[in-house]
Amino acid sequence: MFGRRKKRDAADGAAGEAEQVVDGVDAEADAESARVRLEPAPRPDGPWDSSEVREPGEGRVDLGGLFVPGVDGMELRVEVAGDAIVAATVVLQDSAIQLQAFAAPKREGIWGEVREEIAAGITQQGGIIDEVEGPLGWELRAQVPVQLPDGTGGFQVVRFVGVDGPRWFLRGVISGQGAVQPQAAGLLEQIFRDTVVVRGDGPMAPRDPIVLKLPNDAQMVPENVQQEEGSRFAGGMSRLQRGPEITEVR
């Protein structure tokens, strides 16, 4: 199978057996490598690349690297790392989804590999992971250890979803009721599907975050400050906030 030469004697036979073992290990390693480096799967229902949408700004908020759909009653918060905006969180009543896009190899998907890393990090912290095939494809449903307001330990239920695109990867982190009861997350899942990613043509290292920006007419609103109804943004969003950064557990 691997083009080995014929055995000449008993010693060569023993060497051949050892070679078979090595070849078997190599074959398993190659299979594992192929599994985590598959080409991105088709995305007939989104999320979309900017080249696939004629008017990405129609019904969506322009955040530069992402066009996020707007729906009635939602709040949009931006997440920061240093001075850069790297993620956006959509809040709908008692549920939320954080959206973050990353650069990825041209012909390789990274979601399988990222899932393994997230799962390992949460498990090492004492959390619980369940990998299931959900409405958005393979996802992680996790119970992440957290400290409760009274100082005791508890768990937060979250869902990690992801999709590989052309030279990008979009990750979503669903929390709140949409994570506790996944059947209640239909609208959040639709927002994820209808998001448009703007990767750009410039060189980026795989996994570098695709930086976002505030809309031109956005205003920063502090936490717990109510804004008058009648947002200028499409979809009836009530406010745009700068919220706490949600970091990936490693």
Report pLDDT digits (tens) over 27-58: 444 444 444 466 777 788 889 999 999 999 99
What are the structural domain ranges in the chain? Answer: 1-36, 48-243
β-strand 137-147 against 153-165: which pairing, if any?
A: antiparallel
β-strand 240-243 against 75-81: which pairing, if any?
A: parallel
Q: Give the pLDDT of residue 37.
A: 61
pTM higher than 0.85: no
Q: Give the pLDDT of residue 45.
A: 87
Q: Give the pLDDT of residue 212.
A: 94
Residue 110's closest CA among 22, 37, 219?
A: 37
**Which CATH code for domain 48-243?**
3.40.1000
Given a cut of 70, the residues of the chain with pLDDT beneath it are: 1-38, 217-250
Q: Give the pLDDT of residue 83.
A: 83
Q: Give the pLDDT of residue 134.
A: 94
Residue 101's closest CA among 186, 192, 25, 216?
A: 192
Q: Give the pLDDT of residue 99.
A: 97
Which residue type occupies 135? P
Distance separating alpha carbons of residues 184 and 218, to the nearest angstrom? 30
Side-chain half-sphere of 172: how many Cα atoms within 13 Å? Answer: 32
Pick left, alpha or beta for residue 236 (phi over 0 → left; psi -120 to 50 → alpha; otherwise beta): left
SS3 96: strand
Q: Give the pLDDT of residue 218.
A: 63
